Structure 1
């Protein structure tokens, strides 16, 4: 042992079944208590019904115009999202703070999974589908995406951008 070195305990390996903890497994296999999770669509008919119900919630709401500054779309991504907005399509969305909980490989996997799901849904359902992957940047830290979505009394969705300094102030003050 080196002079001044600390004793360190031996590494301990803990294994879990693939699929995460008990709550994750219950969500995935449908055994969670009723009402905890929306049932996962199975088959083209259920996916079509689910897509229609999601799409109907945003009909005529101008959601793309509200999100355009945050999305900063260009090229093929712009064309695909325009097809979704014009053709009553849907958006598949996910995100990750890069490097957090699984490292950069996990972030890449989630982004590619969103793209693969969007491609398959578009092919199988015959409706436009676009993937959106958000990355919580270090600039924003744990505050996440600087936007808030709310539903007004009239039922319309509203997107309000939040200034980064307001997010930082709320985060650091414990608000």
Structure 2
């Protein structure tokens, strides 16, 4: 009987090893723009470095770009790659700049499990800087996507 209890207890412990407890390693990709950590630190502000290079998240409703309604293009704050157009921006009410689509080829995607479940992470395809995440709860009349982007990861270039 003791062996059966020990076997059941061991089986239970092994079965508790779920994907929520596993941290998927991100693929090491080579980007067109590559710099050392110290070079990025020298070029970016503390907040930009935290978000773009350490995959951090800025507090909601803190970015002036959240309520920016000017016409133009949103570029990567680290390498100046154009990422999103203002005509695809919408107010999601989440506190972060949101877009229903990216500029094709300029945004890369991967999966992160940082919160214990799978999310689609977005990064600049040129320098690998973390931008935010994409969700399937965007405007139904367009793409249905919500690219939820940290404003500090963006630089707005006004249309002339």
TM-score, with structure 1 as normaliser: 0.28
- Tell me which of the two structures has the higher relative contact order, counting C-alpha pairs closer than 8 angstroms and 6 or more residues apart: 2
* Structure number having the greater strand percentage: 2
TM-score, with structure 2 as normaliser: 0.30
Structure with larger Rg: 1
